[in-house]
Structure 1
């Protein structure tokens, strides 16, 4: 496959769940301890590893010491996406041909 046909790749990928857990352990946290300390049920924070959960994502990111957007760039890219409507412009030929 040459470069022109290569599939487009996003600049960054979300961290792997094992990397997130390892980063928490390096800071002295476990997912369970972080959940309980935050006033949540023991396994609530685990949900953020599998699906979008902004509150849990913020708690995990604060414990690690980075922004949630750094851990889950694809989630935040989708979450912050604002569609833009672009209207097609009439070509010059269409206008000239209609006048003639």
Structure 2
């Protein structure tokens, strides 16, 4: 299996459209600015990836295998940073 076969951003957007939503709508529903989730399309961001994947219904490592597997094909554990809300 080739783990560098990440989905193209257009494929992710199309998958969201097939679910009847848009990247901007998913972003706003998560309490973010309408363009914030587009960052996850261009660079690793576990929280954003999780939000997008929840909307599509596919695990993040299926959409971005290069972000979730090492060179040997082992699944990498990635975590979201906890934000200190004080």
TM-score band w.r.t. shorter chain: 0.7 to 0.9
* Structure 1, unaligned runs of 5 or more: 1-9, 82-100
Q: How many residue pairs align between the two structures?
A: 72
Q: Normalising to structure 1: TM-score of the pair? A: 0.67
Q: Which has the larger Rg?
A: 1
Residue in 2 aligned with 1:91?
A: none
Higher helix share: 1
* Structure 2, unaligned runs of 5 or more: 78-86
After superposing on structure 2, the runs of 4+ consecutive aligned residues of structure 1 that deviate more than 4 Å are none
Q: Normalising to structure 2: TM-score of the pair? A: 0.77
Q: Does 1 or 2 have the higher relative contact order (CA < 8 Å, sep 6+)? A: 2
Taking only aligned residues, the RMSD between alpha carbons, in angstroms, comes to 1.6
Residue 64 of structure 2 is aligned to residue 72 of structure 1 = yes
